[in-house]
Structure 1
Amino acid sequence: MNDVKYDVNDMPKPGLLVGLSFQHLFAMFGATVLVPILVGIDPAIALFSSGLGTLAHLTVTKYKIPAYMGSSFAYIAAMQMLMKTDGIAAVAQGAMAGGLVYLLVALIVKFAGNAWIDKVLPPIVVGPIIIVIGLSLASTAVSDATMIDGKYSGTSLLISMVTLFAVILFNMYGKKIIGVIPILLGLIVGYLFSLILGLVTGQEIVHFASVASAKWFQIPSFDIPFVNYDFKLYPSAILTMAPIAFVTMTEHFGHVMVLNSLTGRDFFQDPGLDHTLTGDGLAQIIAGFFGAPPVTSYGENIGVMALNKIYSVYVIAGAAVIAVVMSFIGKVSALLNSIPTAVLGGISIALFGVIAASGLKILVENKINFDNKKNLLIASVILVSGIGGLVFQIGGLQITGVATSTILGIVLYQILPEPKVDEA
């Protein structure tokens, strides 16, 4: 922990705080606006709700956990289906139902306690799960870095590599403020390089048309019950989306475990798992109320913290406030949306890799013995099922990736016997 630059409750100077907050904004922006675009919802609503939900989460967790809430990919299939049948009202109701599931589980944890967590999630389960959280996003990072419209692009690869190496150089050799904001600086380098490359080659790599046509002030297209639509109960939406909350809940546990590892704290104990779950649930209810996609804690932002060693909740709060403000500024949102995918891909390669490496760090620090057959099998199953994308499907409910590997890891740890000393 000696290399920490700003701890959880440290507040950087105002100028630096803004720069650090923008780093987190850029890290979550692409994924947060992509989900509503895929579903057919105004991206500005998602930006607004992610910021407001993050502030709600920080408040509920007593400003002790540096977690950013962004649009959840786990609900995409369910939302797309509901948008075709019952519309945004059903999606919103399903999102709020998922939030209520979080609150219910939080209530159970509050009275039953959370001493069971160490028994259910020991280092041999936690480490590989964190590796999966990082590496399960690897294909997305590489695709963003090398593809345009599903086809390989040498131009994208060049841009992403320039961005990646800029991040690496700023992180390794940057002094003072430069070493603190390597991701933001890498993004700027990648963006400027894209502009120059476009001018030299005649390609339109950065698209400014949407920026020119966007308004300066623009209220997001909120969909609020009793205001924009009449309230009606949608049982199908509740039954479709509420169970998915259990899937994202396992990701929530994983992200908190990563933050525990990075900060040297135990957030399951302070402020407590009941508070972290309540914060997530409240953020999701807020998102549903305004007609935005459900939200969840973001691995991208955890990656930023892992890279720059800055865990300040005030930086996260700053990013949340900026996101809310940005949602009302049409031109700024359009400008952010003009960042080439290849630039985001180059940054993602660094971020997701750092998350995976933090999982390895847990295994090393806890001196996990892989000559122990139980440990070897648990890690093997978690890694292959998680990175490979093993799917459990029950009716319309799909459990994939991180959630699947988490469940398998927990079950195997409980049912596999400890090997005898001469077999270990």
Structure 2
Amino acid sequence: MTKEFRNPDVVLDIKDKPKPLQWFGLSLQHLFTMFGSTVLVPILVGIDPGIALLSSGLGTLVYMLTTGAKIPAYLGSSFAFIPAMQMLMESDGYPAVAQGALTTGLVYVLVAFIIKKIGSQWINNVLPAIVVGPVVMVIGLGLAANAANNAMYTSSGTYSPKYIAVALATLALTIFFNMFLKGFIGLLPILLGIVSGYVLALTMGIVDTAPIAEAAWFALPNFEIPFVHYEPRLHIGAITTMAPIAFVTMTEHIGHITVLNKLTKRNYFEDPGLSRTLLGDGLAQISASFVGGPPVTSYGENIGVLAITRVHSVFVLGGAGVLAIALSFVGKISALILSIPGPVISGISFILFGVIAASGLKILIDNKIDFDLKRNLIIASVILVVGIGGLMFKSGPFELSGMALATLFGIILNLILPEKALSEQ
């Protein structure tokens, strides 16, 4: 029997179990790392932060169970779906978001099945960098107006210089934390930025603390369970809006697995296999849709913690998932998160949404996309304007809008346009 490989360069390898007190501290690190981003998504969308924490922890455990606890990954709320979820929340409420999240999970499951049967090369053919890069840019840039409005206007629509001051101070502090802190604490610029901005907002009198005092310490998250809290019905618009985005987040998933391969000195594309990792992510998203949370995805921030601490134990990541679930039942935590004012969120959003857009640009640069070629220029141009402009196709219950439509256009143009225009041959 072959002895199982153990990475000699780490403190704790994949299957190493830490001592109880050490275990708690290491898991708490991962909880702090994912916390800022994971709770920001439900705040922006209008979902209970407690349920987002629950679905994050639950999704992580589902992912580990599906992959045989072979991959040290943490799953948190996905930013890619924010524009679609915001639109769906305004039109049909959470049941539509849930159906969209369920759909994206099912897309992952279907793709996992296809990959198991015929391999994964077709993904690169359908979603090359010239399509994925601009679509990722649309995700970030499409949210820019929301960030600016939250920085300028109160809930009553009044322009507020005080709000702008808090937003810009939060932005400046977050930039400082990101640029000048190092080690583990350097991985927490979002969390530190939110805390600092919140304290400043408190001193300026724009935080309502009454709900925090009134909230119970123990409280059930606001579950949204089908057939219990609502009667499901078909939301075609939710399906057509969110399903195409799943293909974009898959490329992010594959990127994270690639980084983990190098970090842990293993090949997760072979064991447990890409089909199994995508299946785990898909089932995690489905589980989130059944409890009331947003779709989840693997978090690069937590991969950063693995690199710095050299602790790759799945027991630590699983512990973080359990802690997130436990925290979701602390009522005062949800009340505290919901009390974070708009300008603090917007200050963080200026960076986060910009980073998303810049990540799309980085994909184009890393893949050396040549914009002197007319096909590349056309594909990127159409995706950007259709996505950011909010073009919509609607017929009865059927609806394709914004990023979903931009993704579809990008895929079609990539497949039908020749490598070179006649004038370039």
If the length of structure 1 is used for normalisation, what is the TM-score?
0.76
2:150 is the alignment partner of 1:163:
no
Structure 1 residues 280 and 260: CA distance shift in structure 2, 3 A: closer
SS at match of 2:424: coil
Distance 1:64 1:288 in 2: 23
Native 8 Å contact 1:133 1:402 kept in 2: yes
Structure 1 residues 385 and 24: CA distance shift in structure 2, 3 A: same
2:145 is the alignment partner of 1:139:
yes
Distance 1:304 1:133 in 2: 22
Native 8 Å contact 1:183 1:304 kept in 2: no
Residue of structure 2 aligned with 1:124, choices 130, 143, 151: 130
SS at match of 1:398: strand
Distance 1:128 1:269 in 2: 30
Distance 1:304 1:148 in 2: 34
Structure 1 residues 270 and 352: CA distance shift in structure 2, 3 A: farther
Matched residue, 2:76? 68
The code of the aligned residue for 1:366 comes to N
Matched residue, 2:217? 216
The code of the aligned residue for 1:246 comes to A
Could you tell me how far 1:342 is from its partner in structure 2? 1.4
Note the residue ranges of structure 1 that are not aligned, 5 or more in a row: 1-5, 199-204
Native 8 Å contact 1:67 1:316 kept in 2: no
SS at match of 1:219: coil
2:352 is the alignment partner of 1:351:
yes
Identity %: 44
The code of the aligned residue for 2:71 comes to Y
Matched residue, 2:40? 30
Native 8 Å contact 1:163 1:346 kept in 2: yes
SS at match of 1:217: coil
Distance 2:158 2:137 in 1: 28
Matched residue, 1:3? none
Aligned length: 399
Could you tell me how far 1:372 is from its partner in structure 2? 1.0
Could you tell me how far 1:416 is from its partner in structure 2? 0.8
Native 8 Å contact 2:103 2:243 kept in 1: no
SS at match of 1:152: coil
Native 8 Å contact 2:126 2:411 kept in 1: yes
Matched residue, 1:401? 402
Bigger CA drift: 397-406 or 111-120? Answer: 397-406
2:161 is the alignment partner of 1:154:
yes
Native 8 Å contact 1:65 1:267 kept in 2: no
Distance 1:270 1:394 in 2: 45
SS at match of 1:324: helix
SS at match of 2:220: coil
Could you tell me how far 1:212 is from its partner in structure 2? 0.7
Native 8 Å contact 1:102 1:245 kept in 2: no
Within-5 A mapping of 1:232-271:
236-237=233-234, 246-256=243-253, 259=256
If the length of structure 2 is used for normalisation, what is the TM-score?
0.76
Could you tell me how far 1:324 is from its partner in structure 2? 1.3
Note the residue ranges of structure 2 that are not aligned, 5 or more in a row: 1-10
Distance 1:420 1:375 in 2: 11
Structure 1 residues 367 and 255: CA distance shift in structure 2, 3 A: closer
Native 8 Å contact 2:237 2:399 kept in 1: no
Matched residue, 2:56? 50
The code of the aligned residue for 2:76 comes to Y
